[in-house]
Structure 1
């Protein structure tokens, strides 16, 4: 019985320590953004979003799928053009789902990717997660939500649905929608099924 009491006290201590550290970082004005890249147009849209943010006041972290070499190249080019040459961080995680992969096997690959996402959240401690639809965002958003609940990071999810989603939401969007802090869409038709979403027209990307 005493053993479990000490374990409980240790857990409480860790959670209190995490919350105090999180408050301390917030007071210092540190804003950490974890941008989740996807292959093809997803990364192009993501970089457009990032280019509209004040780079000097953000600590930028990126999550990229291990088979997505193009996104790493685009991120490197984007960072090299910023006026504030602050350090940025890139994390490579297993892709949760390949194109045309069966949904049954996707469950297992997503769980595998989730394990790799845990240290990403522990290292980046994101205030904001910025994603726009790639399947890569699912396991990392789940990991962030868990650590947000534990008080380790703010983990506010900002989801911007891709401009190509005109009449229906992406699968990633449907999954993240209930848990997102802000959910943006670029076509008004989606408001009927997703009233929580914020419609800003095609001005986002």
Structure 2
């Protein structure tokens, strides 16, 4: 199985790294921001740098959509896994078009309100993981697996 791990640098990337037991035995590649933490954490991994800032930035959303198309057509992953943030959106929608399975893990630190990325990818996610039972009010079909922190 080949896995695409897509997430912003910082906490989103750290959460993806915390589920290492899930992806470490599989062929994989990463999509994240070119920042010091991601360069260090992923130094020996196959990685693609996406455009940032992504929050409410239409220009970078378009650039990342084109990037998602090119990467997913080239790499042909079986699965896309993401913890957000906005960089996940084009990968999930292009992934859906290409019939690639997706797993989204809603962030640990949002209990009382949904994230914008979570709301946008929820309709196209094959599996939507919540880390708090309280998040079910925003994502009724979410699968509660507890916290990964």
TM-score normalised over the length of structure 1: 0.67
Aligned to 1:200: 145
Unaligned ranges ≥5, structure 2: none
CA shift for structure 1 position 136: 1.0
Aligned to 1:69: 36
Considering fraction of residues, name the structure with more strand.
Answer: 2
Cα distance between partner residues in 2 of 1:168 and 1:189:
9
Q: How does 1:1-205 map to 2 (within 5 A)?
A: 31-49=1-19, 51-53=20-22, 55-56=24-25, 58-66=26-34, 68-76=35-43, 88-95=45-52, 97-98=54-55, 103=56, 106-148=57-99, 155-202=100-147, 204-205=148-149
8 Å contact from structure 2 (residues 114, 138) kept in 1 = no
8 Å contact from structure 1 (residues 38, 134) kept in 2 = yes
| Larger Rg computed on CA atoms | 1
Counterparts in 2 of 1:165 and 1:115: CA distance versus 1, 3 Å = same
Cα distance between partner residues in 1 of 2:52 and 2:92:
14
8 Å contact from structure 1 (residues 121, 144) kept in 2 = yes
Q: Which has the higher contact order (CA 8 A, sep 6+)?
A: 2
Give runs of ≥4 in structure 1 deviating > 3 Å: none
